A and B are shown apart, each in its own frame.
Chain A
Amino acid sequence: SSELTQDPAVSVALGQTVEITCQGDTLRPYYASWYQQKPGQAPVLVMYGKNNRPSGIPDRFSGSRSGNTASLTITGAQAEDEAEYYCNSRDSSGVRWVFGGGTKLTVL
């Protein structure tokens, strides 16, 4: 099995830029995907692959990878971006998946 490590909480001032990171050995061979979850709602995919946004996700969201660390960047954070963010990737077996512990983003 493998682990993905996220900071538990991050804050950003309204309109500023914030980076949410995810660390794990399996992020070298596999890209991370990122999910936004607001209270009482199911998660929503916001980023996948090298730097791909699903239809309907604002272009202020972007993704990147360096070594064993994946990042989700929000450029010009909005109040509606306040949520829990989870990264996800395959584990070392390649046929199971693992989520990071989640990062609670607060927009000040």
Chain B
Amino acid sequence: QVQLVESGGGVVQPGGSLRLSCAASGFPFNNVGMHWVRQAPGKGLEWVAVIWSDGSLKYYAESVKGRFTISRDNSANSLYLQMNSLRVEDTAVYYCVSRGIAVQDAFDIWGQGTLVRVSS
């Protein structure tokens, strides 16, 4: 069964850091590009970052560039998002998402999400 399970969310003060993890199972993780997508409370979806299947390339949304770092460990079937210098506006549910497992060029498998709340 193809599955993505996020963890690591919580409450953090502005300026703080948090590391999200995503455990993948049921598919060849090292063959798939992986993304983080977030959704602020009551708002729409926002693409955050992508990492190529071999980890060689990473790209970020302008809103998080320089503060967030996406990484992966293919030996552990895991995806990560290191979030530094967090702001109130980073409060959101963060989804781990695959692109290209079941279909081509679309976000085909989504995790259940993990909530990050930045608040003093």
Interface residues of A, Cβ cutoff 8 Å to B: 1, 31, 33, 35, 37, 42-45, 48-49, 52, 54-55, 84, 86, 88, 93, 95-102
Whether the pair B105, A48 counts as a contact (CB closer than 8 A) is yes
Whether the pair B47, A96 counts as a contact (CB closer than 8 A) is yes
- What are 15 A-B contacts defined by CB distance under 8 Å? A1-B62, A31-B105, A33-B107, A42-B111, A45-B103, A45-B106, A45-B107, A48-B104, A48-B108, A49-B105, A55-B102, A88-B45, A96-B60, A98-B47, A100-B44
When C-beta atoms are compared, the residue in chain B nearest to A52 turns out to be B103
Task: Give B87 Cβ to nearest chain A Cβ, in Å.
Answer: 19
Q: Which residues of A contact B37 (CB under 8 A)?
A: 99
The 8 A-B pairs at the shortest CB distance, nearest first, are namely A48-B106, A33-B106, A97-B47, A42-B110, A99-B45, A102-B44, A95-B59, A101-B44
Q: Which residues of A contact B112 (CB under 8 A)?
A: 42
When C-beta atoms are compared, the residue in chain A nearest to B95 turns out to be A42
Kindly list 15 other residue pairs between chains A and B, CB separation below 8 angstroms, not including A33-B107, A49-B104.
A33-B106, A37-B45, A42-B111, A43-B45, A43-B95, A43-B110, A44-B110, A48-B103, A48-B104, A54-B103, A88-B47, A96-B59, A97-B35, A99-B46, A102-B44
Q: Which residues of A contact B105 (CB under 8 A)?
A: 31, 33, 48-49
Query: Once the chains are docked, how many angstroms separate the CA of A26 from the CA of B66?
Result: 25
Whether the pair B108, A54 counts as a contact (CB closer than 8 A) is yes
- Restricting to B80-115, which residues have a CB under 8 Å from any CB of A? 95, 102-108, 110-113
When C-beta atoms are compared, the residue in chain B nearest to A99 turns out to be B45
Query: Once the chains are docked, how many angstroms separate the CA of A56 from the CA of B29?
Result: 23
Whether the pair B110, A88 counts as a contact (CB closer than 8 A) is no
